[in-house]
Every structure is written in structure tokens, then in C-alpha cells.
Amino acid sequence: MDINRENYELGLPVIQKAGVAHKIEFKEGPAMPVLDKLVEDEKNHGSYDFIFVDADKDNYLNYHKRLIELVKVGGLIGYDNTLWNGSVVAPPDAPLRKYVRYYRDFVLELNKALAVDPRIEICMLPVGDGITLCRRVK
């Protein structure tokens, strides 16, 4: 899913070369309305094996509330940037760039919510800016 089809088309040759184009369903548009439409249709519940989120951090928790319904038990949801420039472990008064400070609270909110969500098991990977993998168990 992306608001810009060109991003999908840029990666399409690699997807085709890997022989997995038939396994990828591209949805174009802003994430929230597309997700709401997917969640409305119960046949989509539990139908996704893997979902990766690299989007507007202020909506990550809203996305999670919808994605958990769409991913199947045993499936994975990956969230990018969950260490957010290391700011999630920085003291509250640490000098941070304006945009880092702005999104820090949203990323912290997501991390805290994922940590206590009984429907998932999580693993935060300190790769790049942090990736959190959530495996749905319920």
C-alpha cells in the first residue's frame, strides 16, 4: 500500500524477478481509508501473512489497531523506525531535532502498546533505525 504507485512500480521488476508478483497485492491510496475498507470486509480478516509499515509515525498505533485484524495468526507485522534515532531511550530533556522530538512520543506510544498487546509476540531489532516484528499469536 502506498499513496504513490510509482514506488510500487519502481520495485516491481525485482518482485517479478523473484517470482513472487502473484503473492503481492498492491493497494494505492492513503493508508487509513484503505485499511478501513479492508477491515470492513470480514473475508480480509486473518488473510495476510506479512505486513510491513513504514509510514507516518503519528498513525502507527491507528494502523496497528486495524492491521492486527488483517494479519493471520502466525503472521507478521513489521514496523520500521521503532528506535527513532535513538530518541526512545534518550532522557526527556535530551537535545533532539524538532521532527525527532515531535514523532518520538508517537513511537514511544506504539512501543508501549505493542509490549502489552496479548495478541502478539514482539522482537525489536536494532537494525538501522529499529524494526519491530510482531507475530500474531491470538
Dihedral in degrees, nearest 10, Cα atoms 38, 42, 48, 52: 40
Residue span of the structural domain in which 128 resides = 5-136
Confidence of residue 24 (pLDDT cuts 50, 70, 90): confident
Q: What is the pLDDT of residue 92?
A: 86
Looking at the DSSP assignment, which residues form a beta bridge with residue 26? Answer: none
Is residue 28 predicted with pLDDT exceeding 90? no
9 or 133: which leads in pLDDT: 133
C-alpha cell at 71: 494479519
Number of domains in the chain: 1
pLDDT in tens, 57-99: 999 999 999 999 999 999 999 999 999 999 999 998 999 999 9
Q: What is the pLDDT of residue 84?
A: 94
Average pLDDT over residues 39-61: 96
Q: What is the CATH number of the domain that holds 112?
A: 3.40.50.150
pLDDT in tens, 91-133: 989 999 999 999 999 999 999 999 999 999 999 999 999 999 9
Q: For the stretch 6-22, what's the b/e string if a residue is b when 16 or more beta carbons lie within 10 angstroms of its beta carbon?
A: eeeeeeeeeeeeeeeee
Q: What is the pLDDT of residue 55?
A: 93
Q: How many whole angstroms separate alpha carbon 63 and alpha carbon 55?
A: 9
Q: What is the pLDDT of residue 133?
A: 99
